[in-house]
Amino acid sequence: MSAALSVEGLTTSLRIDGVWRDAVRDVSFELARGETLALVGESGCGKSLTAMTVMGLLPAGVGRLSAGRIVIDGVETSGLAEAQLEKVRGDAIGMIFQEPMTSLNPVLTVGFQIAESLIQHRGLSRRQARERARELMELVRIPAAAQRLDSYPHQFSGGMRQRVMIALAIACEPKVLIADEPTTALDVTVQAQVLDLLGSLQRDKGLGVLLITHNLGVVATNAQRVMVMYGGDVVESGEVGAFFANPRHPYSRALLAAMPRVDRPTADLSPIPGQVPTLADMPEGCRFQSRCPLREEACARRPPLTPLRDDPRHLTRCVVTAREAS
């Protein structure tokens, strides 16, 4: 069976002060139906930019796909014109954006916004689309769905708005769902409810989910595989269990050391010194080298993403830890 989503050698460039700079470099992965792949890292590491590239939502003149192939449900989209991409977006692939209040149109009712995609992609009549929108709102557990169809986004709580976004994203039963920080700004109880809802929808619909998050606790309980990004590079990828048991890249280890845990006093937290360099100041070679305690001369050259001898599915982009594992 072909992958729900296949990305090969994806490179995304941003135009900064008239110069095109690679913000995401040579990213490759496959996402199977029914699988959750978590994409993690600090803000500015390239997670959301990767998702926007896959969706074909890069702003013209500011961002571009410089290299690579994107195949969604067997259709290569990397060379499609905008009109053709519009047929794929919302149909074969859906996306839950970080902040539903800015992603939903404030002057249109939620029922109208859900129905719109069904009319465009499924050719339903206005009456049929409205009825299906009600069913979708019930599916995502919005109480009194029939009455809330004519409500506006500001009349919903943050958690309910996120449920509306999920209903929008799955309206046309896509094969791939990109969830970009789906629990940002939600309290922990609502976070758990939203993640439980996504999990049940995935099981029922066989969705391949690309989960973008900086919350490693969410990764541990909701994903099967994880990819860690830093400075636009994938620096580590592997099965979730192996990653948490034995992270190999220094950045991965630093992320886990900085994560609060109930079994460890907060005094034991180790913040990562410095910050992610800007694209204009990004070092050659390993992009983490300016903050890495294991830095050596070989880090001046960009290391390959290397499979570990004891676990070929676990890859790391570090000359030091790859050498230690060989």
The more confidently predicted of residues 29 and 90 is: 29
Mean pLDDT of the chain: 90
Q: How many of the other CB atoms lie within 10 Å of CB of 143? A: 9
Q: What one-letter code names the amino acid at 246? A: N
Q: How confident is the model over 304-326, as a mean pLDDT? A: 85
Cα(78)–Cα(10) distance, integer angstroms: 10
Beta strands in 109-230 (DSSP E): 176-180, 208-213, 225-230
Res 41: pLDDT? 92
Cα(134)–Cα(70) distance, integer angstroms: 33
Res 21: pLDDT? 94
How many Å from the N-terminal Cα to the C-terminal Cα in the chain? 33
Res 260: pLDDT? 73
Res 309: pLDDT? 87
44-70 per-residue burial string, b: 16 or more CB within 10 A, e: under 16 = bbbbbbbbbbbbbebeeeebbbbebeb
The more confidently predicted of residues 44 and 177 is: 177
What percent of the chain stands above pLDDT 70?
Answer: 96
Res 242: pLDDT? 94
Q: How many of the other CB atoms lie within 10 Å of CB of 83? A: 7
Identify which of 112, 114, 191 has the alpha carbon closest to the alpha carbon of residue 158.
191
Residue for token digits 């008239």?
Answer: 18
Q: For 169, which DSSP code? A: H
Question: Can you read off the two tokens belonging to residue 36?
Answer: 């959750």
Identify which of 8, 11, 6 has the alpha carbon closest to the alpha carbon of residue 64.
11
Q: How confident is the model over 26-37, as a mean pLDDT? A: 96
The more confidently predicted of residues 188 and 112 is: 112
pLDDT of 60 higher than 90: no
Res 325: pLDDT? 61
Do β-strands 208-213 and 176-180 pair in parallel, antiparallel, or remain unpaired?
parallel
> How does pLDDT run across 264-279, given as a tens digit for each residue?
666 567 888 888 888 9
Question: Can you read off the two tokens belonging to residue 194?
Answer: 């939203």
> How does pLDDT run across 243-259, given as a tens digit for each residue?
999 999 999 999 998 88
Cα distances (Å, whole numbers) of residue 152 to 10, 109, 124, 158: 38, 5, 22, 13
Res 261: pLDDT? 66
Q: How confident is the model over 224-240, as a mean pLDDT? A: 96
Residues 93 and 72 sit within 8 Å (Cβ to Cβ): yes
Residue 144 backbone zone (phi > 0: left; psi -120 to 50: alpha; other: beta): left
pLDDT band at 301 (very low <50, low <70, confident <90, very high): very high
Query: Angle at the Cα of 69 (from 66 to 75), degrees rounded to 5?
Result: 135
Res 186: pLDDT? 76
Cα(142)–Cα(135) distance, integer angstroms: 10
- Confirm whether pTM is higher than 0.85: yes
Cα(231)–Cα(285) distance, integer angstroms: 11
> How does pLDDT run across 194-220, given as a tens digit for each residue?
889 889 989 988 999 999 998 898 999
